[in-house]
Structure 1
Amino acid sequence: MVGYAFMGAAHSQGWRTAGRVFDLPVQPVMAAICGRDPDAVRGAADRLGWGAAETDWRVLIARDDVQLVDICTPGDSHAEIAIAALEAGKHVLCEKPLANTVAEAEAMVAAAERARARGQLAMVGFNYRRTPAIALARRMVAQGRLGTLRHVRVSYLQDWIVDPEFPLVWRLRKEQAGSGALGDLGSHIVDLAQYLSGEHLVGVSALTETFVRERPLPAGAVAGLSASAGGDSGGGVPRGRVTVDDAALFTGRLASGALASFEATRFAAGRKNALSIELNGDRGSLAFDLERLNELHFHDHTEPASSAGFRRILATEPDHPYLEAWWPPGHGLGYEHTFVHQAADAMRSIASGALPEPSFADGLQVQRVLAAVEESAEKNSVYTPVTPLPA
């Protein structure tokens, strides 16, 4: 694995646990982890359960005991590492979003297709697909329980940068992150909308905004920024420009003609990790809220109106997706279990040779939607206040 921060810890949890819970055809062995700081990566290896530590990802992918490379770095390095790993004969799991640009994602897909001919697999890490309730919703849509789809509405709300004095971390710099809330949160909800509906988005119209345009530089970061990126607010605290969006709001149309709406923001005060999705069809509706991730709400519109309504499905039954190996019904799972399921699915794909889902091609499709959102937002960027109508 390359990277050992938040996502690295989450992925490590998945690799440590998958083979202990599921009866897998092949077992993951955590051979080596990579990071630039020798002391920090050695500490991460010990803490997270990795057998060795490396400080150069090129050395990591050259190791004979590494057959799969898990990429948990900022987006600006995804393409280089993934393509090199595939060309070195490794399977690859890469965190979302797949890349920072469509061109990078296309190059990654091309490398994955070449590697596929050699028996290697490439998978992108949209972990929320592995929430049992979400996977159950996908099953119900595929079974026709909603009928003809009319609407999909999705939002992903966080508040971790509401404070204007929050530092200019890498997620707020375009050269590293690619985009802001759009790529970080929007990629998840675009993937979920397409995954659950079974359709691709074919058009979007968007608005984006950066509410706080300058932030204090993190300690030790001043020397590493160019003069154009950094500055001084006048109070002696070095500051730099935020070069990504803080929020994205867009509508879309799915291939069938169904309408979709999306909101992704890091400025929803009081919302910590609030992802919700609802699908409406002519035969019923499904609704999911990540803050109640063991529950799915379903309305069967074919029932008599006198008794119809949304009902809660507790997604903890052994015949629900992923639940056959866990606890008795009613004993809920959590966020970390999505990464266990992701690791288990990767192992099953490698053993069977089946194309993993989501594939790099799926990641490219999401990347194209994100690029279309950015393009639309640029065209819609001129804001002219409207004179209020007379009372």
Structure 2
Amino acid sequence: MSTELRVAMIGHGFMGAAHSVGWRQAPAVFDLPLAPRMAVLVGRDADKTAASARKWGWDETSTDWRSVIERSDIDVVDIVTPGDSHAEIAIAALAAGKHVLCEKPLANSVDEAVAMRQAAQDAAAHGIRAMVGFTYRRVPAVTLMRDMIADGRIGTVRQVRASYRQDWLADPGSPMTWRLDKERAGSGALGDIGAHIVDMAQFVTGQSLTQVSAALETIVEERPLLGESVGLSGTAGDERGRVTVDDLALFIGRLESGTLASFEATRFATGRKNALDIEISGDAGALHWNLEDLNALDFYDATRPPLEQGFTRILVTEPEHPYLEGWWPAGHMLGYEHGFSHQAKDLIEAIAHARDPRPTFADGLHVQRVLDAVERSASNSAVWTEV
């Protein structure tokens, strides 16, 4: 690796930590064609940004993202800010000739996502790449699920069931955060975690959603305003702020083939900390995966003799499995953070080999259209709504 790829990351919260691990680990594990350098970390608070930079290994810091993206020594802009700033930063970075990685969901609205897709298409004509960060695609077991479906191992897909359940808002006394303010987040459970299962269902089946019928619910409508939450959906001095996003999203959809899919995204599933679950049923078998057991893929082969049928647990840790060639010996498990190393690997290789990384901004736009259709359906008594 003789050529550096200098990265500036905008934002440094929870996702900033995960992305930092990815940028740092990828070149140590994989034989990459370019060497990523964690050059600049950008945040609004100079002291907090500096502390994050020291913790995660960034060379320098800034509080001005506009000046950073104009620098000639920056090659990649990694956006991990709340959704309300994705479009502005990504479009400006692409116009400045920087490759862009943007966290999901791509934007807060379809219009913003359309503008981002157009900016990415314009930049691609000059060799500039853009990718949206649906990181769960890069869990080895999920990629293997996609590959097995594409190889016909479960036959024709008949039904999809996907859910993402958390409980971190189950306590009505939990304070307001930016994720509960529609102006900042765009939507609630729908966009925050529902976007993941929409993308995953489309990724593993190779089909896009075309219609949805949905219901959304805000279970706790007001929350305490504490610390940084003061000013979110309220004003300084208010005791409580109004929640302006959904807590729970339930919807069904149709894939291009007409196959029905069901989706649940909730932050009120008491006892469920981070339970992303997907099952694909076909006429020749089925596949099932759960994030809380992320190294395993359950496979049912309906073509086997009746006395031998039953789900088989595949331990996805062999070096021949997706992404595993650089990691540990078979049976030594990977965790949540490894997907971010795989994300960095895929983006670096796409840049080096002059190809568009997946998922593209166009893929992110389609997910945004699905989220928008869900909201429109929910506001119209769950009527079937075109994506």
TM-score above 0.5:
yes
| Alpha-carbon spacing, 1:255–1:71, altered in 2? closer, same or farther (3 Å) | same
Q: Tell me what 2:312 maps to.
A: 311
Corresponding position: 1:175 with 2:152: no
Corresponding position: 1:184 with 2:192: yes
Larger radius of gyration: 1
Q: CA deviation at 1:230?
A: 2.5
- Which stretch of the first structure deviates more once superposed, 38-47 or 118-127? 38-47
Q: Decide which of 186, 193, 209 is 2:217's aligned counterpart.
A: 209
CA distance in 2 between counterparts of 1:292 and 1:53 reads 37
| Alpha-carbon spacing, 1:220–1:198, altered in 2? closer, same or farther (3 Å) | closer
SS in 2 for 1:111: helix
How many residues matched?
Answer: 375
Q: CA deviation at 1:218?
A: 2.2
CA distance in 2 between counterparts of 1:179 and 1:187 reads 10
Corresponding position: 1:43 with 2:36: no
CA distance in 2 between counterparts of 1:209 and 1:221 reads 22
Q: CA deviation at 1:144?
A: 0.7
CA distance in 1 between counterparts of 2:277 and 2:376 reads 25
Q: Is the 8 A contact 1:24 1:344 kept in 2?
A: yes
| Alpha-carbon spacing, 1:151–1:88, altered in 2? closer, same or farther (3 Å) | same
Q: Is the 8 A contact 1:172 1:242 kept in 2?
A: yes
Q: Tell me what 2:38 maps to.
A: 30
CA distance in 2 between counterparts of 1:80 and 1:112 reads 13
Q: Tell me what 1:323 maps to.
A: 324
Q: Tell me what 1:386 maps to.
A: none
1:333-362 superposed Cα distances (whole Å, 9 cap, x missing partner)? 000000000000010000001110011010
SS in 2 for 1:240: strand
Gaps of 5+ in 2: 1-8
Q: Is the 8 A contact 2:299 2:314 kept in 1?
A: yes
Q: Tell me what 1:380 maps to.
A: 381
Q: CA deviation at 1:184?
A: 0.3
Q: Is the 8 A contact 1:31 1:65 kept in 2?
A: no
Q: Tell me what 2:6 maps to.
A: none
Aligned-residue CA RMSD (Å): 1.3
CA distance in 1 between counterparts of 2:37 and 2:73 reads 9
Q: CA deviation at 1:65?
A: 1.8
Q: Tell me what 1:143 maps to.
A: 151
Q: Tell me what 1:230 maps to.
A: 234
Write out aligned runs for 1:58-77 (5 A).
58-77=66-85
SS in 2 for 1:20: helix
Corresponding position: 1:92 with 2:97: no
- Opposite residue 260 of structure 2, the aligned amino acid is L
- Opposite residue 197 of structure 2, the aligned amino acid is I
Q: Tell me what 1:387 maps to.
A: none
CA distance in 1 between counterparts of 2:156 and 2:200 reads 18
SS in 1 for 2:268: coil
CA distance in 1 between counterparts of 2:228 and 2:118 reads 38
CA distance in 2 between counterparts of 1:219 and 1:54 reads 23
SS in 1 for 2:379: helix
Q: Is the 8 A contact 1:277 1:289 kept in 2?
A: yes
SS in 2 for 1:244: coil
CA distance in 2 between counterparts of 1:2 and 1:48 reads 14
Q: CA deviation at 1:304?
A: 1.1
Q: Tell me what 1:122 maps to.
A: 130
| Alpha-carbon spacing, 1:47–1:231, altered in 2? closer, same or farther (3 Å) | closer
Q: Which runs of 4+ in 1 moved over 3 A?
A: none
Q: Tell me what 1:83 maps to.
A: 91
CA distance in 2 between counterparts of 1:11 and 1:230 reads 31
Q: Is the 8 A contact 1:203 1:253 kept in 2?
A: yes
SS in 2 for 1:113: helix
Q: Tell me what 2:3 maps to.
A: none
CA distance in 1 between counterparts of 2:382 and 2:294 reads 36
Q: CA deviation at 1:309?
A: 1.0
1:210-250 superposed Cα distances (whole Å, 9 cap, x missing partner)? 0000001122543x35xxx3279xxx971110000000000
1:270-318 superposed Cα distances (whole Å, 9 cap, x missing partner)? 0000000000010110000111000000001111112111100000011
Aligned-residue sequence identity (percent) comes to 63
| Alpha-carbon spacing, 1:373–1:220, altered in 2? closer, same or farther (3 Å) | closer
Corresponding position: 1:110 with 2:118: yes
CA distance in 2 between counterparts of 1:59 and 1:139 reads 42
